Chain A
């Protein structure tokens, strides 16, 4: 990896050192954003990283938010060809834009759709060759739409995520999800959000600046990396905080005030 493409975000996620073995292996990454500041660029960045040519990672992308063409164009500008990766069986795209589970009250459980989805993911992973089965990322964009797809029964979504979490222990997959923090901020008990944050090994928050948006600072990222169970500083969580600017081909990260 050349010097330029490593940045604060990669450092915070431990992606700057090695790409093989995949540093996020077996971990759950939760990205939270707001109406003012979209966090989807973190997803794109992670997707690009996991599909980087010197690794053998496989990504399973579950899209509730955008069609394939959208991601394809973005990733192409980031220097990653999704069509090619799809042909190479390193990228699996599940278009869930139209997925709508029937209402939960009448007989058919809304779980049906999600269970089927889980089955598909499981089958996809099992069908992979032994080597790449160890380096799978499951990426979900985004959870709030998944909730809508099951008509608001967030318990089913949580169940689904716990199933996926078992995959991370069974196959050492990584699970990367995007959700919107401000949806839950008004609730008394934001159960869903708290559950997600509990589930997460790495929590990434994208927030607008308190002073509003500017053309050269698009917002700030807070990366909270919970301790892995080994190493010296295991008792402490690692938090890093920096500003970012999203460009077509790269995300620039920098410490507050470090740019003139």
Chain B
């Protein structure tokens, strides 16, 4: 009897989970997961919704290029736009300075006309956003309902879960000021206890209970094993920090993202780190003038690098997520917007003989659906 009862409840949960009000910028997913956006709409689609709450995301940096910063910036800016508290740790002397480089949410593509007049667009956007936030208090963030009811609101409604960011426009100051943004410099601390405490107090703000999730936190740690950190040769300590961070995050409604240069770790530890990650990504720059690549791939001019998806978070399920493609090109569209695309081979002579990968459509995984661009 008891078994039947619990089983029934487990089946009904997904249905009921669609109903409760989620905080801004949160989305229900399968297996009782709640997603928050990575700040890159394409990445959200690839990962099947975004980063699940309680997961640890690790990004392997390219030692020669700061592409991981692109991911971090969008991740952090998205959190600030959604009014989600942020903890940012970096080996820089003044981590708060990095906040000044965060991008600002862009007007949607339909509203490109506004961009001719930046002032107007900014005003309108600000106004729109403010209205949306005011409404949010009253309507349980059910954006779909009032999406399209009013012109200016639909603009924001559309951006509700995941914004596109204009990398050339800095994030408005007011986003930074009214936030609980916590910055830590990990350069000087001789060991990881300070950072551990900060993370622990931060994540304890979002205790996990089975009810609806009202707020989520984001933890971003940049270049965790950078050599300027005093602890960077204490490999086991770093590992146990990651492990405890993972369990902190698991028991709270937050997402942690750690970027690290894998070349600085010994191969065996690098593997250990990779095993720790729920979602594992890597970024790689492409050389400026690589003639061969330029011939092979379409749209080479706009590309700045590659993103590899090694592992997609598998929480509450044992089924692995198999993506149709794991390598994506990072492009800066109009030098403003960060987009990810499947690699498309340029038409080549038959002599080269590789036919796979030439599919014209850039579909992501079956779950992610088609990428539109």
Contact = CB atoms under 8 A, between A and B. Distances in A.
Interface of A: 35-38, 40-41, 44, 66-67, 69-70, 73-74, 76-77, 81, 83-84, 97-98, 100, 144-145, 148-149, 151-152, 180, 182-187, 213-215, 218, 246-248
Contacts of B194: none
B256 to A, nearest CB: 15
Contacts of A70: 315-316
B116 interface: no
Contacts of B250: 66-67, 97
Nearest to A95: B247
A246 B319 contact: yes
Contacts of B247: 67, 97-98
Interface string B264-284: 001110011011000010000
Nearest to B366: A215
Contact of B317 (A69, A151, A248): A248
A218 B322 contact: yes
B96 interface: no
Given A144-B272, A149-B240, A180-B271, A74 B318 contact: yes
**Chain B interface category by residue count:** 35 or more
A73 B317 contact: yes
B251 A41 contact: no
Contacts of A37: 320
A70 B236 CA distance: 26
A36 B7 CA distance: 32
A74 B271 contact: no
A250 B298 CA distance: 42
Interface string B240-270: 1001100100110000000000000011100
Contact of B316 (A69, A186, A187): A69
B82 interface: no
Contacts of B311: 35-36
B314 interface: yes
Contacts of A98: 244, 247
Nearest to A87: B2
Nearest to A213: B322
Interface string B74-102: 00000000000000000000000000000
Contacts of B240: 100, 148-149, 151
Contact of B318 (A35, A44, A100, A144): A44
27 contacts: A35-B271, A35-B274, A35-B311, A38-B314, A38-B320, A44-B318, A67-B247, A67-B251, A70-B316, A73-B31, A83-B6, A84-B3, A100-B244, A144-B275, A148-B243, A148-B272, A152-B235, A180-B275, A183-B272, A183-B275, A184-B268, A186-B268, A213-B322, A218-B320, A246-B318, A246-B320, A248-B317
Given A148-B240, A180-B275, 20 more contacts: A35-B274, A66-B250, A73-B317, A74-B316, A81-B7, A84-B2, A97-B247, A98-B244, A144-B272, A145-B243, A148-B272, A151-B240, A182-B271, A183-B271, A183-B275, A184-B268, A185-B268, A246-B318, A246-B320, A248-B318
Nearest to A81: B3
B6 A73 contact: no
B170 interface: no
B32 interface: yes
A187 B266 CA distance: 10
Contacts of A149: 240, 243
B361 to A, nearest CB: 17
Contacts of A218: 320, 322
Contacts of A184: 268
A20 B3 CA distance: 23
B295 interface: no
Contacts of A246: 318-320
B158 interface: no
Contacts of B316: 69-70, 73-74
Nearest to A64: B243
A186 B269 CA distance: 10
Contacts of A40: 318
A183 B317 contact: no
Given A38-B314, A213-B322, A248-B319, A148 B7 contact: no
Interface string B307-325: 0001100111111101000
A156 to B, nearest CB: 13
A67 B266 CA distance: 29
Contacts of A76: 7, 10
B239 interface: yes
